[in-house]
């Protein structure tokens, strides 16, 4: 197929074990999507949007679905591991693919640092609910604890006294205090070991965890439905349309894990058929669960009270249940939250090694990362490296800042995949016939209509804010929206001129808008991250990929000479 710009892999994709069925892939999608979002973020979104949080989840699902459709089309036409990196390679070539792969490191390896820390927090809460606990110096990183201890010595703030006492009480090795986030390190080690020994074992564990957390969510919905007060839904949009739309940003990132499925393409039994279906099924299933749970939660308690870390457990404290039943239900929810975060960690810890594995086959990373374990049939060295990359930073920092940075990397990948599909619709190469295709909606007039409607709506709802966009004497965060407006105009030019397919272009613009909404500091960090990635590419990847390409051409030339040689 002429679409594939990829250089042939030095190792056959069949070296990985094809064991994942449609059910397994869908479970992996659900595992990646239903994590902290359904156990905590849903409460924050409900406090912002009130009962209209159900609409928020539908809007967020639609926006994520635009990118998911593009992923599904690419997965059905390029059934190789590597996710957005592979898709960017086949459409845009090596440099863009490297940048996308570098962004995916943010989503998977770096993002898992935040997931591990979040898991540690849930696990500590579970221990506390059982009357147990770990010493403070075993549940935090040394940098944070040292800073808090120094702040106590300076301010004598009573709130920091426990941190100072923990720093003093920590055991010492050669006068160095032993401070570490032990739960986070242990779960990273356990999940890395599971990913190392095989996709089959990981599949079984993931399916079990997904069944458990879906069961917990259905339990909350089933019991809570009997106590819902419909009058709580009467003030459906208490903070207006803008309040509802603020909730979209809060919940969108609950949906972004579906792309982890595409990293397992070479371990799926029928990737061209099953990957697109699994992506769509997992998004639909998760959206239905989110909407049903949001309706129940806002019907059980005033929406203002749901902005707590554990809204599912909180609503049961308001129900007329026996104390023993209430404790049992809260315990089930606490265990399910820990299981939910474990399954997210597992899916992402499976995804990153397979991206590095694919990049290594292309010569962009050291060849050792493309090695497959002879027994387990997993990219074992890439898996171990992922475990190290996630575990080491846990010793030094809480790294809360990586959450937004991770989102930026993911959204950049979404935008590039969507643009790739729009390009393929406009100029399909010979033989391009994917099993699944994003519906091709001519964008010329529809995009003009949508843009003019959006401008009119913005000018009507917030005339002062709209005028300030064109008052360049005003700075602040307005420059981000001006950048997005320029992007809309630039991309609109190509949509109108070439009548590009509307849905993938809307997917790209949606992802870019959500990037614009993130703080300016994250743009600076992303710029630094990109600069480091480009330095690595031109320092290593570019030269080694060219060397590998020459080796492949020589091997192909030798094979053709053997085929054309006269038989003796």
Residue partners of 404: CB distance under 8 A and separation at least 6:
518, 519, 522
Check whether 334 has a pLDDT greater than 70: yes
Q: Where are the domains of the chain?
A: 18-105+183-388, 142-179
C-beta atoms surrounding 537 within 10 Å: 20
Concatenated DSSP letters of 292-319: HHHHHHHHHS-GGGG-SS-HHHHHHTTS
The proportion of the chain whose per-residue pLDDT surpasses 70, expressed as a percent, equals 89
The β-bridge partners of 181 are: 139
Give the pLDDT of residue 3.
Answer: 46
The pLDDT confidence band at residue 278, using thresholds 50, 70 and 90, is: very high
The pLDDT confidence band at residue 6, using thresholds 50, 70 and 90, is: very low
Check whether 171 has a pLDDT greater than 70: yes
Tell me the pLDDT tens digit for each residue of 494-515: 999 999 999 999 999 988 888 8
- Helix then strand then coil, in percent of the chain rounded to 5, is 75, 0, 20
CB 286 within 8 A of CB 33: yes
The overall average pLDDT reported for the chain is: 83
CA distances from 27 to 22, 266, 281, 347, 486 (A): 9, 17, 10, 10, 40
Give the pLDDT of residue 549.
Answer: 62
Give the pLDDT of residue 14.
Answer: 46
Residue partners of 83: CB distance under 8 A and separation at least 6:
104, 259, 260, 262, 263, 351, 354, 355, 413
Fold of 18-105+183-388: Amino acid/polyamine transporter I (1.20.1740)
d(CA 499, CA 492): 10
């Amino acid at each position: 197929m002429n679409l594939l710009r990829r250089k042939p892999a030095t190792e056959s994709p069949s070296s990985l074990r094809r064991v994942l069925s449609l059910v397994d892939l869908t479970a992996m999608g659900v595992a990646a999507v239903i994590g902290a979002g359904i156990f905590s973020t849903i409460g924050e979104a409900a406090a912002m949007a009130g009962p209209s949080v159900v609409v928020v989840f539908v809007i967020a699902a639609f926006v994520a679905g635009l990118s998911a459709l593009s992923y599904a089309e690419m997965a059905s036409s390029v059934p190789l591991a590597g996710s957005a990196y592979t898709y960017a390679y086949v459409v845009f070539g090596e440099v863009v693919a490297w940048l996308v792969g570098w962004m995916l490191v943010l989503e998977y390896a770096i993002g898992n640092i935040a997931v591990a820390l979040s898991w540690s927090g849930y696990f500590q809460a579970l221990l506390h609910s059982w009357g147990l606990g770990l010493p403070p110096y075993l549940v935090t990183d040394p940098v944070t604890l040292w800073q808090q201890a120094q702040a106590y010595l300076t301010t004598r703030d009573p709130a920091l006294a426990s941190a100072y006492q923990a720093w003093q009480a920590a055991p010492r090795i050669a006068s160095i205090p032993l401070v570490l986030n032990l739960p986070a390190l242990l779960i990273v080690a356990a999940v890395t070991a599971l990913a190392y020994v095989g996709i089959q074992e990981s599949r079984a564990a993931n399916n079990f965890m997904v069944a458990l957390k879906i069961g917990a969510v259905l339990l909350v919905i089933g019991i809570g439905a009997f106590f819902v007060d419909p009058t709580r839904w009467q003030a459906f949009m208490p903070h207006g349309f803008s309040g509802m739309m603020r909730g979209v940003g809060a919940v969108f990132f609950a949906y972004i894990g579906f792309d982890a499925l595409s990293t397992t393409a070479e371990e799926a039994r029928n990737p061209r058929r099953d990957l697109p279906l699994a992506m769509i099924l997992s998004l639909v299933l998760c959206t239905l669960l989110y909407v049903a749970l949001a309706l129940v939660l806002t019907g059980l308690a005033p929406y203002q009270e749901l902005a707590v870390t554990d809204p599912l457990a909180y609503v049961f404290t308001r129900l007329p249940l026996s104390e023993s039943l209430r404790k049992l239900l809260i315990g089930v929810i606490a265990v399910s939250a820990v299981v939910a975060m474990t399954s997210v960690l597992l899916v992402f810890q499976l995804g990153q090694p397979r991206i590095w594995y694919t990049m290594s086959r292309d010569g962009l990373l050291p060849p050792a990362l493309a090695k497959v374990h002879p027994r387990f049939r997993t990219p074992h060295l890439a898996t171990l490296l992922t475990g190290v990359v996630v575990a080491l930073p846990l010793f030094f920092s809480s790294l809360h800042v990586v959450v937004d940075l991770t989102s930026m990397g993911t959204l950049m990948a979404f935008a590039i995949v969507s643009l790739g599909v729009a390009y393929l619709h406009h100029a399909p190469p010979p033989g391009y016939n994917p099993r699944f295709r994003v519906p091709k909606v001519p964008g010329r007039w529809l995009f003009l209509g949508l843009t003019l409607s959006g401008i009119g709506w913005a000018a009507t709802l917030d005339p002062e804010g709209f005028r300030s966009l064109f008052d360049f004497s005003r700075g602040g965060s307005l420059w981000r929206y001006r950048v997005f407006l320029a992007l809309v105009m630039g991309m609109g030019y190509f949509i109108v001129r070439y009548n590009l397919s509307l849905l993938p272009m809307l997917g790209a613009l949606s992802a870019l808008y959500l990037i614009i909404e993130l703080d300016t500091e994250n743009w600076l960090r992303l710029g630094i991250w990109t600069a480091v990635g480009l330095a690595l590419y031109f320092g290593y990847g570019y030269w080694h990929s060219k060397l590998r390409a020459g080796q492949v051409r020589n091997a192909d030339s030798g094979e053709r000479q053997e085929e054309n040689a006269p038989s003796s």
